Every structure is written in C-alpha cells, then in structure tokens.
C-alpha cells in the first residue's frame, strides 16, 4: 500500500495517562483516512496508542509506504520528529512525510526543517487527498491550497484552503481501520464502562486568548443532527459503547441544533449516555432539561478562573456568577459537572487565586482540572507574552508546555498554588463529614501557603 496514516502517541510512554486510562483513537486522522478512501485512494492506518515505536517501525519497514501521513499535536511532536528522522533513511525507502493536525500551523519552518516534506495546514481532508494524489502521480503540487513545503531551503506556503462547508458530505471516520475493541476493553477494564468519541461541530466562534484555533479557525459549522444520530445508532449496533464523549468545543452553542438533535436521537432510537463540553451562557433550564432527557451524564463548563478580572483578561466573555450558577443548577439535576481551572495567567495575583478557591467551593463541581497556563504558538496569549519569555528550550526536544515567561510570581509559586487550591477545596468539602481528612487537607493548604510566600 502506498499511503500510511499514523501518529506518535504511545500510551506505554505516558505514566500520567496510565493512571487515568481513558484512551480515545485519533479521530481527525481517521476522518482524513476515510476521505481518501472515499476518493479511491486506499490507505493503511497504524494506530500507535497501544504499541511501541519499535512495533510501528517494523510495520513501516514491512509495508514500505511511499507516503507516511502523521498526526501531530503539541505533545506528540517530539516523538513525531524522532520518527521522521528514523524513517527518512534508505532502509525505509525514503518515504515522503506529510504532517497534519493542530501543531503544524504555527511551527511551519521548524517542522519542515526537522525533515517533513509537506505540511497540511488546517482541515485535512481535501488537502491531503490532492497532495497524496499529486505525490503518487508525480504531478505539480505547488498549486494545491493549504500546504507548506521547502524549496531551496525556503518555506513556501500556498494560499489557505477554504473551509469545508457541508460537513454532511464528509464520510464517517475510518474506525474500521483500527482495533476499536482494544479501546473499549481498556475503558471497561478500568472504569466498568466503555466510551467512544464523536465530532459534530467544527470551529468555535469565541476568542479565549490561550486556546488554539489552528485547525478550524474562528468558524462554526455543524453536521446535520440527523446524521449525528445515525452515526450514534451505527456505533451502538457495531461497538456497543456505554458512553459517548462529544469532542465539540461548545456542544450547546446552537439551541436550535440541540432541539433537532433531541428529536433525531429519539426517533432513530440512537440514545447513548454522553458527556460534553459547553459554555455556561449557552445553558439554561430548558437546555439542561433536554440534555438530561437525552442521556447527558456529565457537562464540562469552563470558567478557567474564579476571578472576573482574569476571565476578562483571557477574553473569555463570560460572567463568573453565570458559570457558578450553571454548575450549581446542573448538579441539582443530577448531572455530573466538571470545570477547568488555569493558574498563573498573566496578571493573576494571590487575590485572584483566593477568588478561584472561593468559586470552586461555591460552585462545587463534581470534577475539576488545574493547569498552569502555558502559551500555545499561534494564540493571542503567546503573542502577548512573547517578549517576556524566560525559558524556551530547544524546539525539537521540547513542547510549548515547557515555554516559561515572566509571570507575577515564580514558576514554583504556582506548583504550591495548585496544592493550596486543591487542599482548601477538599477541606471545605470534608469539613462536616470527615474531620480527620479535613484537618489533613487544611494542614497541607497551610504548608502550601507558606511555600507560596517563600517562592513569591
């Protein structure tokens, strides 16, 4: 086979995820593979999640593909580059390397100089099809929109490709090409229930400064509700998942779509319990009732901070009280809630961190995650802090997560701030039910406060 799709995420190399054990297949790559297949460009998919790089290399050695298309994101980048350097040799037949995915758009020169032959910028389906066809037929490729390549060591970037308008024309992700069962079994073994992903939406119309819009831009396009329900019905019959995660940026952004979706899942008997991410101001009593009715068991509602000042600095365009109320209302309905917190955003002070603790106590989400803010290339946040970068390690062997910049306090301060937030919130939750545990958390929070002072 001439074309191989692969990625470079190896679960066995990810101790953090080995504790979480909620793996999902690379959906975007499966979308592109399916599109090529629908255009009669047969291709193979080698899914690395449950394999090692050695097994992947052996596979490539056996298949000797002419083109290797690799999904690249911020975290898998280092492994992708290692992979390129190994396969661009005689024993692998010098395949052409095409990279796509969210990390390539703003790191064009670096990826090309690391050995990639072509980058597919933005949505992958049409561009990868035209590019693979040109490479295999030895046709001119410089007229293809949405790509980048090197010519005489200079970067050539062709005009951007128009976004795919009619999402219903896209074939479903090529899930048959990979071993879906191993994902389902891993979930079942670790959590008692299995889960799969579905994408119904492309793009997000909002402007949060730290968020990467490298693939879909500030667009909003939606698949017809009827087609999404049909996909759920198919997954239900073929894979029997216990749950679905809609990987959409703002699942309830369109209330009209959600009403249609409700009708369709009921009509097509396609209901599968699901979780989704949305924004607080796109929820109201009616929408929450609909979500509950159609099997939504968890809603992730972003706030990122309990301080309105920080939310505004992020250009998140939401009122912290609206987020708090949305979480409280969702809890009351018996739907689990989750929220994301970011510490160390430029401009954040201790007062803002205290407001975040207060917000978490009052909102009381079932789950929350805390990230120390980092600048993804191409985001407004990156552009804002670029002149304040204090640590930018070698590009090929580090990720954007390793970039540090001058913040209000030292980097160490924020590690202790995370501990303070977690322990204050745990103290608050346990103060009336488990006094021993509560005291333990209060002591840890006290210690963290001391270390924050020392590391200011």
Residue 94's binding partner out of ligand SF4, ligand B12, none, with CB under 5 to 8 Å set by partner kind: none
| Residue range at the interface with ligand SF4 (CB under 6 A); choices 22-30, 149-157, 201-209, 328-336 | 201-209
How many residues sit close enough to ligand B12 to count as binding (CB under 6 A)? Answer: 37
225-239 and 255-267 helices, crossing angle to 10°: 40
CB of 342 to ligand SF4, least distance (A): 10
Binding characters for ligand B12, 357-376, by CB under 6 A (x = yes): --------------x----x
**Any idea which residue has 């160490």 for tokens?**
412
Binding to ligand SF4 (CB under 6 A) within 301-320 occurs at 302
101 binds ligand B12 (CB under 6 A): yes
Whole-number Å distance between alpha carbons of 270 and 366: 27
| The two three-digit tokens of residue 68, written as one number | 């290797």
9 binds ligand B12 (CB under 6 A): yes
Among 56, 174, 195, 212, binds ligand B12 (CB under 6 A): 212
Whole-number Å distance between alpha carbons of 77 and 60: 19
- 121, with CB counted inside 10 A (0-12, 13-18, 19+), is buried
Q: Which of 106, 269, 239, 264 is nearest to 173 (CA)?
A: 239
| The two three-digit tokens of residue 55, written as one number | 């097994």
| Alpha-helical regions (H) of 375-434 | 380-385, 411-430
250 binds ligand SF4 (CB under 6 A): yes
The H or E element containing residue 297 is strand 296-301
Among 123, 304, 404, 426, binds ligand B12 (CB under 6 A): 123
Residue 187's binding partner out of ligand B12, ligand SF4, none, with CB under 5 to 8 Å set by partner kind: none
Among 279, 324, 377, 407, binds ligand SF4 (CB under 6 A): 279
Binding to ligand B12 (CB under 6 A) within 258-297 occurs at none
DSSP code at position 34 = H
| Residue range at the interface with ligand SF4 (CB under 6 A); choices 46-54, 90-98, 206-214, 358-366 | 206-214
- In order of 2, 10, 72, 84, the CA distances from 60 in angstroms are 11, 16, 18, 12
Residue 86's binding partner out of ligand B12, ligand SF4, none, with CB under 5 to 8 Å set by partner kind: none
Whole-number Å distance between alpha carbons of 221 and 223: 7
| The two three-digit tokens of residue 66, written as one number | 């002419």
Whole-number Å distance between alpha carbons of 125 and 43: 13
| The two three-digit tokens of residue 441, written as one number | 């958390």
| The two three-digit tokens of residue 27, written as one number | 């959906």
Among 45, 60, 67, 74, binds ligand B12 (CB under 6 A): 74
206 binds ligand SF4 (CB under 6 A): yes
Residue 135's binding partner out of ligand B12, ligand SF4, none, with CB under 5 to 8 Å set by partner kind: none
Whole-number Å distance between alpha carbons of 115 and 6: 16
Binding characters for ligand B12, 75-94, by CB under 6 A (x = yes): xx------------------
Among 79, 103, 130, 355, binds ligand B12 (CB under 6 A): 103
Whole-number Å distance between alpha carbons of 95 and 332: 56
Among 80, 83, 88, 124, binds ligand B12 (CB under 6 A): 124
208 binds ligand SF4 (CB under 6 A): yes
Judge contact between 74 and 399, C-beta under 8 A.
Answer: yes
Give 355 or 400: the residue with its C-beta nearer to ligand B12.
400
Residue 117's binding partner out of ligand B12, ligand SF4, none, with CB under 5 to 8 Å set by partner kind: none
Cα end-to-end distance, the chain, whole Å: 58
Among 56, 114, 128, 337, binds ligand B12 (CB under 6 A): 128
Residues that bind ligand SF4 (CB under 6 A): 204, 206, 208, 211, 249-250, 279, 302
Residues that bind ligand B12 (CB under 6 A): 5, 9, 24-29, 31-32, 69-71, 73-76, 98, 100-103, 120, 123-125, 128, 197, 199, 211-212, 214-215, 247, 249, 371, 376
């Amino acid at each position: 086979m001439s074309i191989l799709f692969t990625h470079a995420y190896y679960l066995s190399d990810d101790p953090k995820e080995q504790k979480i054990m909620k793996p999902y297949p690379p959906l975007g790559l499966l979308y592109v593979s399916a599109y090529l297949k629908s255009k009669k460009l047969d291709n193979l998919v080698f899914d690395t999640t449950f394999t090692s790089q050695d097994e992947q290399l052996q596979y490539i050695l056996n298949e000797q593909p002419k083109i290797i298309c690799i999904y690249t994101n911020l975290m898998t980048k280092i492994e992708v580059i290692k992979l390129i350097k190994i396969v661009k040799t005689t024993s692998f037949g010098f395949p052409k390397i095409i990279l796509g995915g969210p990390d390539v758009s703003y790191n064009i020169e670096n990826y090309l100089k690391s050995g990639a032959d072509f980058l597919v910028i933005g949505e992958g389906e049409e561009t990868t099809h035209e590019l693979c066809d040109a490479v295999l037929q030895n046709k001119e490729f410089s007229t293809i929109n949405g790509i980048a390549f090197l010519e005489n060591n200079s970067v050539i970037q062709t005009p951007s490709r128009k976004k795919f308008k009619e999402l219903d024309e896209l074939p479903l992700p090529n899930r048959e090409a990979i071993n879906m069962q191993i994902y389902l079994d891993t979930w079942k073994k670790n959590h008692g229930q299995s889960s799969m992903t579905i994408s119904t939406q492309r793009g997000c119309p909002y402007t949060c400064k730290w968020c990467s819009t490298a693939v879909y831009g500030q667009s909003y396009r939606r698949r017809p509700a009827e087609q999404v329900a049909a996909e759920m019905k198919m997954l239900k019959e073929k894979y029997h998942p216990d749950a679905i995660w809609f990987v959409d940026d703002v699942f309830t952004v369109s209330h009209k779509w959600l009403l249609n979706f409700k009708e369709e899942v009921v009509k097509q008997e396609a209901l599968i319990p699901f979780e989704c991410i949305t924004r607080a101001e796109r929820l109201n009593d009616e929408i929450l009732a609909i979500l509950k009715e159609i099997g939504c068991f968890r809603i992730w509602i972003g706030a990122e901070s309990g301080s309105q000042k920080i939310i505004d600095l992020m250009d998140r365009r939401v009122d912290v009280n609206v987020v708090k109320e949305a979480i409280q209302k969702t809890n009351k309905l018996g739907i689990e809630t989750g929220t994301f917190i970011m510490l160390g955003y430029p401009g954040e002070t201790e007062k803002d961190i205290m407001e975040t603790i207060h917000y978490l106590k009052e909102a009381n989400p079932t789950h929350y995650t805390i990230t120390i803010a980092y600048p993804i290339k191409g985001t407004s946040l990156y552009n804002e802090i670029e002149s304040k970068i204090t640590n930018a390690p070698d590009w090929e062997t580090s990720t954007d997560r390793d970039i540090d910049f001058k913040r209000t306090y030292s980097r160490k301060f924020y590690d202790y701030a995370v501990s303070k937030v977690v322990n204050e919130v745990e103290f608050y939750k346990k103060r009336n039910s488990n006094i021993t545990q509560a005291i333990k958390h209060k002591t840890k929070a006290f210690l963290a406060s001391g270390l924050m002072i020392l590391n200011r």
